[in-house]
Amino acid sequence: DADVTQTPRNRITKTGKRIMLECSQTKGHDRMYWYRQDPGLGLRLIYYSFDVKDINKGEISDGYSVSRQAQAKFSLSLESAIPNQTALYFCATSDSQGDEQFFGPGTRLTVL
Amino acid sequence: ILNVEQSPQSLHVQEGDSTNFTCSFPSSNFYALHWYRWETAKSPEALFVMTLNGDEKKKGRISATLNTKEGYSYLYIKGSQPEDSATYLCAFSGGYQKVTFGTGTKLQVIP
């Protein structure tokens, strides 16, 4: 079984809809991250969490919110989806500062 | 926003050629530099985590060096093979505890 899982893997939705992307991990890591990937722009950090009570905005947090329900779960929400949020979204985990990150398989989101 | 730059953006090499790419990052507040390999339709996977100035890491035909004082790292691939085709990402971890990724170098190895 994969250590970092994401659901759904693909989603097509309409402008204005609320969408939640979920991430679960079995690695026992405290640190979890949400990134989006757009062609030519690499991975950009949306939100990150160093433990259940610690959530921080990344460089592109506008239009997104997160919830850290447990050490193993970190959800990303789009309150009112817009077309420019169409992207590939990755969840990742790490053990401590400077450690490598382990990525989930990605969620491809299309907002029409 | 921290500036992490990779060059070139993309390159094509013939099978058997050796190649290298560059990652430049801020030289202050350095904590770690990561290299990731990202194959099409897969997730990024870590190649190296480098923390000390002068670090050299090697995994098979791939190696990396680190210069934290001048803010750059090189990734080398010796005798490129088609299975090396991927995007190679570097990521800077600084004193603010989050990681900033470069935009990657896309390598295509032509058989």
Question: HEC profile for chain A?
Answer: CCCEEEECCEEEECCCCCEEEEEEECCCCCEEEEEEEECCCEEEEEEEEEECCEEEECCCCCCEEEEEEECCEEEEEECCCCHHHCEEEEEEEECCCCCCCEECCCEEEEEC
Q: At B57, which amino acid appears?
A: K
Q: Most B CBs within 10 Å: which of A44, A62, A97, A102, as the mutation test of the B interface? A: A97
Burial class (CB in 10 A: 0-12, 13-18, 19+), A27: middle
- Interatomic CA distance for residues A65 and A57, integer angstroms: 9
What pairs with residue A35 in β-bridges? A45, A90
Give pLDDT, residue A108.
96
Dump pLDDT digits (tens) for A98-108: 889 999 999 99
> Which residues, at least 6 apart from B8, have a Cβ–Cβ distance to it below 8 Å?
B21, B105
pLDDT for the residue numbered B1: 58
pLDDT along chain B (111 residues), means of 10: 88 96 92 94 94 93 96 97 96 81 95 94
At residue B36, the pLDDT reads: 97
The interface residues of chain B toward chain A in range 70-109, judged by CB-CB distance below 8 A, are 89, 91, 93, 97-104
C-beta atoms of B43 and A105 within 8 A: yes
Contacts of A38 in chain B (CB under 8 A): none
Structure tokens at B36: 């990731």
Closest CA to A46 of A1, A88, A4: A88
Contacts of B49 in chain A (CB under 8 A): 98-100
Amino acid letter, residue B41: A
Cβ–Cβ under 8 Å, residues B86 and B19: no
pLDDT tens figures, A35-94: 999 987 889 999 999 999 999 999 899 999 999 999 999 999 999 999 999 999 999 999
Spatial contact of B68 and B53, defined as CB atoms under 8 Å apart: yes
Closest to A88 in 3D by CA, of A13, A20, A25, A38 = A38
Q: How far apart are CA A5 and CA A73, in angstroms?
A: 10
